[in-house]
Amino acid sequence: MPLAIFDLDKTLIGGDSDFLWGEFMSEIGAVDADTYQVKNQYFFDQYALGQLDINEYLEFCLEPLSQNSIETLNKWHQEFMQSKIIPIILPKAQVVVDEHREKGDTLLVITATNRFVTAPIVHKYGIENLLATEPEVKNGRYTGKVKDEPCFQKGKINHLNRWLAKTDESMVGSVFYSDSHNDLPMLELVDHPVVVNGDATLQKIASEKGWASLDWT
C-alpha cells in the first residue's frame, strides 16, 4: 500500500518538540536556564531561516542526554509529554493519520529531531514507523553523539532509502506532509507533496508548484 509520510514538528504537533524539550529541561533545572535558552532560541531561529548547522545543533541538544541516566531521562520525558506535548496534539492531524490507516496505507514519520524526544510522540499518534536522528548509546547511556547521519534535509532521503531497502515498501503513490522549506528534498521526492501549516517560504513554493496546502491548527 502507499506510504503516508509525516514530518513531526509543526506538522503533526503545534510546536517544535526539540525546542520544547530544551525549554522543559531549563524549567526543571536540568540545564543552566539562561545559557541554554539563549542557544536554544538561536538554533531555532537558524532553522527557520534555513541556515541551521545540524552538527553544531546536535552537539548542543544531545549533551544533556549524556549527563543523565536513561531512567531519569525517561521519567522526565513522561512529565514533558504531559506538560508540553499533549496540549499541542492536533486533532485534525490525528484525523488524517487515521484516514490513511483505514485505507491500509503504511504510516511513517520522518523527522530531524532525535528519537529519544520523538518516539513517544509518534507512538501517541499510533504510528509504528519512525525515522529520526539517532542518538548514540554505549553501555546503557547516551554519549551525546549521533549514530549515523543526521535525519535532516537530504539526510532524510538517505534514511528513507535505507529503510525502503529493508522493507517491501515503495514510493509509488507516496504522500508527504510537512510545514517547512527545509523539507523540500522530501516534498519533491514523493508523488503527492502536501504542505501543512507551511512557513512563508514553503507556502510561496507550494503556490508556484500547485501543491496542496492544509491548515491543521
Residues 6+ apart with CB under 8 A from 90: 12, 13, 14, 216, 217
Q: What is the pLDDT along the chain (217 residues), one digit of tens a residue?
A: 899 999 999 999 999 999 999 999 999 999 999 899 999 999 999 998 999 999 999 999 999 999 999 999 999 999 999 999 999 999 999 999 999 999 999 999 999 999 999 999 999 999 999 999 999 999 999 999 999 999 999 999 999 999 999 998 999 999 999 999 999 999 999 999 999 999 999 999 999 999 999 999 9
The Cα–Cα gap between 88 and 205 comes to 26
Residues noted as catalytic: 7, 9
Global confidence as pTM = 0.95
**Domains (ranges, CATH) in the chain?**
3-15+88-214 (3.40.50.1000), 17-87 (1.20.1440.100)
